[in-house]
């Protein structure tokens, strides 16, 4: 007799293979987690260099590895303010810093607190005495509004401002939440550690790791509360991440399918007024894993495991209560799904549980349903192609992230003394065993990634100062440049060549430029951290046909050409023509910059390939090497004739301006004006071409 009449084991193995194919496997999950944990460390370290004393955390599906390319998941970032002391009682008060006391009233909803202002100079509450424009107050006590970061976001992001619950962002791809860290675990979270459970999950090791986690207060009031504007929601996100990180591969696959089903149900049956979220799915997974024994989570039982999870959700819907896994007093359905839609969802779940989850054949994300029906179809991308694409997205985004984070640090608002102190600090880390011991491995990795960028910036700033004041160069400056060469294939070398040109070391500049040209072969890909969208592939294929199993930042960066960026601190290492790029705004242009552009638009920024040819042109010209100068001019012109090169330009208006200047130096003012006009036509605002046209036409 057939022991598997519904063929669930066969279907489970097929579904598992399909999920493997689209990147839901241990290898890709590990790479996603490592990438985002490194991004966390980079973000935190660069914030410590700049004025913000924040610790960053990447939570959500991207950092958990519970997503696919087709699900288009956003990036969740939580920034924790380290300069505010959150008191659970009066003994926690600290002198000289901002103190807030966690207050729980009888009317305060579960998982929420009020934050009361406490004086910096003594452990006493700030009192309301009828001041105008005061913060929210009750019974003379002054409380912190949970709108403070929304108000700041509106000022900072302008027309790009987006808000969804506690998230404040500048684009749809990001969910950014600012939060405060609790000094100790709040009692409602502490009770979770003592709750009776079956014993197999979470394990004692997980519980011990969870005890060392922090909890956060995020600016999100209860939707039915009369005091919603002063309520802060308790978030045990770090604990939840430990739980997700413990999932087996089968459990991860189950979770991803559950989220796909959720997305499908949301689109088909629920109105925009109701919202079944990924957090509901995560909660369902937690309760299901706790009640189902580990032996049942097998690859050949994947369909049944998905059924177990849907049964858990079915039970919650029947009760009309989805408890928070760590704070069970909270009903996660409240404010998300009305009772009417809970019953509709319950009906659809029962239908699918009774028909052997035929809904799986309808899932369109990553063409999963179609792959499930016909897993060997020639129309699908191969597993290695998808792996390579995922690797390219992860590697490309990481490189852009590191570059953009450092860009924010190296802009004109940075305090050079603060930067120098931090540079000194990271320079002594390798020699200091204590510092090495207290840093996490991701913090150590982040410092090794940032070091070449810091060396490059410091070398250029120091050289600019020496050139400005006509000082004799020291060997230490060239040592800094030598240590900076691993930023990527081209940009740090081009900054060295630029300095040599401005210093008058033309022969040495030619040697460096020749070296860059040799290195910039067809295997090198242009990448920029400025946030500019390009016409070509947003994620260049930096990997070979065979998917790389264990790539790291150092191996990928050797295939990348970053843009060359100069701040005002480096002005004397920049050819004079490029200084116009540092003042590209005309009239009200500054008001029309996207938030991502504000970090770099007051810099001189150029794509490496085009800047290479421009530097060659002006250097060969000064040396009187006319034949090579003409060839450099032709190479720069060919960048616009070659569609592949044009499509990978991140700063085409600057490249067009550089080409226009070459024509200008050739004495061909008509072609110079034509190039400046083309540049301005494509980018009419925040373009230095405005100044060049005025120069040549005499219209100052």
d(C-alpha 381, C-alpha 105), whole Å? 57
Q: What is the pLDDT of residues 276-321, one digit of tens each?
A: 999 999 999 999 999 999 999 999 999 999 999 999 999 999 999 9
- Contact between 243 and 202 (Cβ < 8 Å): yes
- The confidence score (pLDDT) of residue 504 equals 96
The three-state secondary structure class of 226 is: coil
The pLDDT tens digits for 460-514 are: 999 999 999 999 999 999 999 999 999 999 999 999 999 999 999 999 999 999 9
Vertex 55 angle, CA 87 and 237, to 5°: 70
For residue 184, what are the contacts with CB-CB under 8 A and spacing of at least 6?
88, 92
Compute the chain's Rg from CA coordinates: 29
The alpha carbon torsion through 402, 406, 407, 412 (nearest 10 deg) reads: 170
How high is the mean pLDDT of the chain?
89
User: What is the pLDDT, as a whole number, of residue 549?
Assistant: 64
Contact status, residue 146 vs residue 221, Cβ threshold 8 Å: yes
According to the model, what pLDDT value does residue 373 have? 86
What is the pLDDT, as a whole number, of residue 214?
Answer: 93
CA end-to-end span of the chain, whole Å? 92
User: Which whole-number Å values give the CA distances from 287 to 12, 28, 313, 332, in the listed order?
Assistant: 22, 25, 10, 14
Which tens digits make up the pLDDT trace of 637-681? 999 999 988 988 999 999 999 999 999 999 999 999 999 999 999
What pLDDT is recorded for position 660?
97
Determine contact, residues 615/501, Cβ cutoff 8 Å: yes
Tens digit of each residue's pLDDT (9 = 90 or more) over 191-203: 999 988 877 899 9
Least confident of 108-117, 183-192, 445-454, 653-662: 445-454
- Of 418, 412, 493, 480, the residue nearest 451 (C-alpha): 480
DSSP letter for each residue of 506-536: HHHHHHHHHHHHHH--TT-EEE-SS----SS
Task: Give the residue, 339 or 50, on which the prediction is more confident.
Answer: 339
Q: Is the distance from CB of 45 to CB of 446 less than 8 angstroms? A: yes
Q: Are 237 and 61 in contact (CB under 8 A)?
A: no
When comparing pLDDT for 593 and 700, which is higher? 593
Q: Is the pLDDT of residue 573 over 90?
A: yes
Number of other CB atoms surrounding residue 530 within 10 Å: 20
- For 346-369, write each residue's pLDDT tens digit: 998 998 888 888 899 999 999 999
Model pLDDT, residue 138: 85
Q: Which pair of structure tokens corresponds to residue 176?
A: 């950014």
User: What average pLDDT score do residues 53-59 get?
Assistant: 90
pLDDT at 119 over 70: yes
Place of tokens 């696959």: 253
| 199 vs 182: CA distance, rounded Å | 28
Determine which of 153-157, 457-461, 631-635 has the lowest per-residue pLDDT on average: 153-157
The answer for residues whose C-beta is within 8 angstroms of residue 517's C-beta and 6 or more apart is: 612, 616
> Strand 75-81 relative to strand 54-59: parallel, antiparallel, unpaired?
antiparallel
Q: Most confidently modeled of 49-53, 156-160, 330-334?
A: 330-334
Chain segment 220-260, per-residue pLDDT in tens: 999 889 899 999 999 999 999 999 999 999 999 999 999 99
Q: Which helix (H) or strand (E) holds 175?
A: strand 174-181
* Phi (first) and psi of residue 113, to 5 degrees: -140, 160
What whole-number percentage of the chain has pLDDT above 90? 63
- Long-range pairs for 613-616 at CB < 8 Å and ≥24 separation? 613/639, 614/575, 614/658, 614/659, 614/661, 614/662, 615/494, 615/497, 615/498, 615/501, 615/509, 615/513, 615/575, 616/510, 616/513, 616/517
Predicted structure pTM score: 0.90
Can you read off the two tokens belonging to residue 613?
């040819």
Q: Locate 224 and state its tokens.
A: 């039915």
Residue 417's pLDDT is 61
Higher-scoring residue by pLDDT: 357, 418: 357
Q: Distance of CA 470 to CAs 463, 465, 473, 572, Å?
A: 10, 8, 9, 11
Helix (H, G, I), strand (E, B) or coil at 177: strand
Distance CA 332, CA 328 (A): 9
Q: What pLDDT is attached to residue 673?
A: 96
Locus of tokens 């490592």: 34
- Measure the CA–CA gap between 405 and 392, rounded to whole angstroms: 19
Res 410: pLDDT? 67
* Residue 326 in tokens: 């760590």
Two structure tokens written together for 293: 């024994």
Give pLDDT, residue 543: 74
Q: Is residue 541 very low, low, confident or very high in pLDDT (cuts 50, 70, 90)? A: confident
Residue 412: what pLDDT?
47
Would you call 358 helix, strand, or coil by DSSP? Answer: helix
Across 441-450, average pLDDT:
88
Q: Per-residue pLDDT for 1 more than 50? A: no
> How much is the pLDDT for 428?
55
The angle formed by the CA atoms of residues 300, 301 and 306, to the nearest 5 degrees, is 135
Find out whether 519 and 488 touch, Cβ atoms under 8 Å: no
Q: Which two tokens stand for residue 174?
A: 């990001």
More confident residue, 445 or 519: 519
* Lowest-confidence segment of 180-189, 550-559, 575-584 by average pLDDT: 550-559
User: At which residue do the structure tokens 């009888």 appear?
Assistant: 106
How far apart CA 614 and CA 602 sit, in angstroms, is 20
Return phi, psi of residue 587, to 5°: 55, -120
> What does the longest C-alpha to C-alpha distance in the chain come to?
94
φ, ψ of residue 454 in degrees (nearest 5): -70, -45
């Amino acid at each position: 007799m057939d022991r598997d009449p519904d063929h669930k084991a066969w279907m489970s193995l097929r579904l598992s293979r399909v999920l493997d194919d689209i990147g839901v496997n241990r290898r890709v999950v590990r790479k996603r987690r490592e990438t985002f944990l490194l991004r966390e460390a980079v973000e935190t370290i660069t914030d410590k260099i700049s004025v913000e004393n924040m610790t960053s955390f990447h939570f959500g599906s991207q950092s958990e590895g519970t997503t696919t390319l087709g699900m288009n998941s956003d990036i969740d970032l939580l920034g924790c303010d380290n300069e505010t002391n959150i008191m659970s009682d009066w003994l926690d008060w600290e002198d000289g810093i901002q103190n807030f006391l966690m207050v729980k009233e009888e009317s305060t909803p579960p998982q929420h607190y009020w934050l009361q202002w406490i004086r910096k100079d003594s452990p006493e509450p700030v009192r309301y005495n009828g001041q105008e424009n005061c913060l929210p107050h009750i019974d003379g006590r002054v409380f912190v509004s949970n709108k403070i970061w929304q108000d700041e976001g509106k000022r900072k992001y302008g027309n790009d401002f987006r808000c969804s619950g506690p998230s404040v962002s500048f684009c749809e791809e990001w969910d950014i939440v600012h939060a405060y860290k609790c000094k100790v675990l709040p009692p409602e979270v502490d009770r979770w550690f003592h709750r009776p459970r079956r014993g197999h999950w979470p394990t004692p090791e997980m519980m011990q790791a969870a005890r060392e986690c922090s909890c956060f207060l995020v600016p999100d009031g209860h939707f039915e509360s009369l005091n919603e504007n002063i309520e802060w929601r308790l978030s045990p996100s770090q604990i939840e991440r430990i739980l997700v990180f413990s999932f087996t591969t089968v459990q991860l696959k189950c979770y991803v399918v559950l989220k796909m089903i959720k997305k499908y149900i949301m689109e088909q049956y629920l109105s925009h007024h109701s919202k079944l979220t990924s957090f509901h799915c995560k909660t369902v997974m937690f309760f299901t894993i706790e009640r189902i024994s580990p032996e049942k989570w097998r690859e050949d039982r994947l369909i049944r495991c998905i059924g177990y999870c849907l049964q858990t959700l079915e039970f919650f819907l029947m009760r009309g209560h989805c408890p928070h896994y760590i704070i069970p007093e909270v009903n996660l359905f409240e404010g998300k799904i009305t009772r009417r839609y809970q019953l509709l969802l319950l009906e659809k779940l029962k239908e699918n549980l009774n028909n052997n989850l035929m809904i799986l054949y309808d899932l369109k994300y990553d063409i999963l349903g179609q792959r499930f029906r016909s897993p060997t179809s020639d129309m699908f991308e191969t597993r290695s192609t998808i792996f390579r694409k995922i690797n390219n997205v992860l590697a490309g985004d990481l490189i852009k992230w590191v570059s953009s984070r450092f860009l924010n640090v190296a802009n004109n608002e940075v305090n050079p003394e603060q930067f120098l102190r931090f540079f000194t600090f990271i320079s002594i880390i390798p020699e200091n065993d204590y510092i090495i011991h207290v840093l996490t491995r991701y913090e150590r990795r982040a410092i090794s990634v940032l070091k070449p960028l810091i060396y490059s910036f410091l070398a250029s700033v120091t050289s600019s100062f020496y050139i400005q004041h006509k000082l004799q160069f020291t060997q230490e400056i060239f040592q800094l440049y030598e240590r900076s060469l691993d930023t990527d294939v081209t940009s740090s070398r081009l900054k060295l060549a630029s300095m040599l040109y401005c210093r008058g070391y033309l022969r040495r500049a030619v040697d460096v430029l020749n070296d860059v040209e040799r290195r910039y072969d067809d295997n090198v890909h242009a990448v920029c951290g400025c946030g500019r969208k390009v016409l070509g592939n947003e994620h260049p294929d930096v990997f070979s046909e065979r998917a790389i199993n264990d790539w790291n930042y150092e191996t990928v960066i050797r295939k990348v050409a970053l843009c060359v960026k100069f701040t005002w601190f480096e002005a004397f290492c920049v050819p004079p023509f490029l200084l116009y790029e540092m003042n590209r705004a005309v009239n009200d242009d500054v008001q029309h910059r996207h938030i991502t552009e504000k970090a770099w638009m007051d810099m001189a920024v150029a794509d490496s390939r085009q800047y290479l040819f421009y530097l060659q042109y002006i250097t060969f010209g000064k040396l009187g090497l006319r034949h090579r100068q003409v060839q450099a001019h032709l190479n720069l012109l060919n960048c616009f004739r070659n569609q592949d090169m044009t499509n990978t330009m991140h700063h085409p208006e600057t490249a067009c301006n550089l080409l226009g200047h070459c024509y200008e130096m050739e004495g061909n003012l008509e072609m110079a004006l034509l190039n400046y006009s083309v540049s301005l036509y494509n980018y009419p605002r925040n373009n230095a071409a405005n100044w060049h046209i005025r120069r040549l036409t005499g219209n100052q």
